[in-house]
Amino acid sequence: MKAKVVLLGTLDTKGQEFKYIKDVIEYSGAQTLVIDAGVIGQPFFAPDISNEEVARAGGTPLQELRARNDRGLAVDVMMHGGAHIVKKLYEEGEVAAIISLGGSAGTTIGTHAMQALPVGVPKLMVSTLASGDTRPYVGVKDVTMMYSVVDISGLNSLSRKILGNAALAIAGMARGTLPPTVTGEKPLVAATMFGVTTPCVTTAREYMEAKGYEVLIFHATGAGGKGMESLIEEGFIQGVLDITTTEWCDELVGGVLSAGPNRMEAAGKAGIPQVVSVGALDMVNFGPPETVPEKYKQRLFYQHNPTVTLMRTTVEENKQLGKIIAGKLNASKGPTALFLPLKGVSLIDIEGQPFWDPEADQALFDTLRSEINPQVVELIEMDTDINDPAMAKAMVDKLINMIKA
């Protein structure tokens, strides 16, 4: 097997632990490739790629890093250098999997390199931080975090067991083969969903699967939108059903589920077919009621559950959302269609439901009508709400025709 399990970390401070992991992985029958990201001391054992090479790849010579004695700078340089080298090794077919271990600095360095690898490449980070907020380390990639329980400072009966399990896990992932029934060859379509657009997306998924496509559903919670955009950029996706664009509400108004300012750009830049709608643009997401900013206290709210408070978007906010979405879609390089459900954009934005606001919806629709470039985006209006099965099937039919064309 040419591809190896990459061990990336600081061999000056965690060298004994990395040597133990290396020995266990090799004892299990997998090959290893060790990259040293330490700066100050000498490595506990000889790596395959030295810290000097990593520092150079990060843009600053190792001797300069040592002379400046700036821990923050050192972590930044080794983080970027390690990611650059790991990505290059992967492109050369050398990487079957990657494992790292450490505290805050080691976790930052290790997971930054992991995020440089495509989804599907096994990634395992043994960290003292794995029982807390792991979002900065996982990002939108399939990074597995394992809590070290004890500090990573020497070997003992407990740490040997934990590190040994980690080593065996990454070796198994590197050497394992999925059964043929798992690795299908159906075209992949990405779709976005929220609780209040679930009927629409479920119908669309089932209808599309019946026509021979595989549908990946992304929960529009910020991380979901980012994850979808990342997979599109990496070339995994053949078409997009961006039914639920609600993450833009949180980005615009300051909710907790923003996917950032680059949401809705990847498909357009890649030129792949996309069908877009305005699902759940009636709501901004906050946590429990006490977390809602004071400036919004007089707005219309709906308590989705004890930990999620929804705030109705206003006429003015819908105008802004229309301009943002139109701007993103007008930049598309591939076939693009925008569907407008004229009788409501979510389960609670239909007549008789708490967020039913025809004026706010009309502001969104009118803005999109005036801002969309018809030379780039096909605008399709349906006299129904977003969760009507007819709407779901119409969007799927449009996307399939685009893909086939």
Q: Is residue 180 part of a domain?
A: no
Residues 112 and 78 in one domain: yes
Distances (CA, A) of 226 to 49, 152, 170, 223, 339: 32, 32, 26, 5, 22
- From 154, 175, 196, give the residue that closes a domain: 175
Please state the domain count of the chain.
2
Which range of residues forms the domain containing residue 212? 188-404
Same domain, residue pair 146 and 259: no
Q: What does each C-alpha distance from 403 to 207, 304, 381 come to in angstroms? A: 15, 36, 21
Give the CATH number of the domain where residue 206 resides. Answer: 3.40.50.12030
Same structural domain, 165 and 195: no
Same domain as 378, residue 236: yes
Domain membership of residue 25 (yes or no) is yes
Q: Residue 325 domain-assigned?
A: yes
Crossing angle (nearest 10°) for helices 71-91 and 104-114: 30
Note whether 108 and 204 are same-domain residues: no
pLDDT at 180: 65
Higher pLDDT, 41 or 323: 323
Where among 175, 197, 225 does a domain terminate? 175
**Claim to verify: residue 224 and residue 114 sit in the same structural domain:** no
Per-chain mean pLDDT for the chain: 94
Same domain as 98, residue 158: yes
pTM recorded for the entire structure:
0.76
Domain boundary pick from 121, 144, 175: 175
Are residues 94 and 154 located together in one domain of the fold? yes
DSSP annotation of 114 = H
Question: Does one domain contain both 287 and 170?
Answer: no
Q: Is residue 183 part of a domain?
A: no
Q: Give 134-175 pLDDT, tens digit per residue.
A: 888 998 889 999 999 988 888 999 999 999 999 999 999 999
Q: How does strand 239-242 pair with strand 188-193? A: parallel
Q: pLDDT band for 268, please (50, 70, 90 cuts).
A: very high
Same domain, 192 and 170: no
Residues 24 and 111 in one domain: yes
Tens of pLDDT, residue by residue over 71-101, are 899 999 999 999 999 999 999 999 999 999 9
Task: Write out pLDDT tens, residues 204-222.
Answer: 999 999 999 999 999 999 9
Is residue 245 one of the residues assigned to a domain? yes
Beta strands in 167-299, from DSSP E residues, in sequence order: 188-193, 214-219, 239-242, 274-276, 283-286
User: Tokens 């053949």 belong to which residue?
Assistant: 238
Is 286 strand, coil or helix? strand
Whether residue 182 is contained in a domain is answered as: no
Which CATH number is 124's domain given? 3.40.50.12020
Whether 301 contacts 255, CB under 8 Å: no
Residue 181 lies in a domain: no
**Per-residue pLDDT band at 305 (split at 50, 70, 90):** confident
Q: What is the pLDDT of residue 49?
A: 97
Residue 192 belongs to a domain: yes
Shared domain for 398 and 376, answered yes or no, is yes
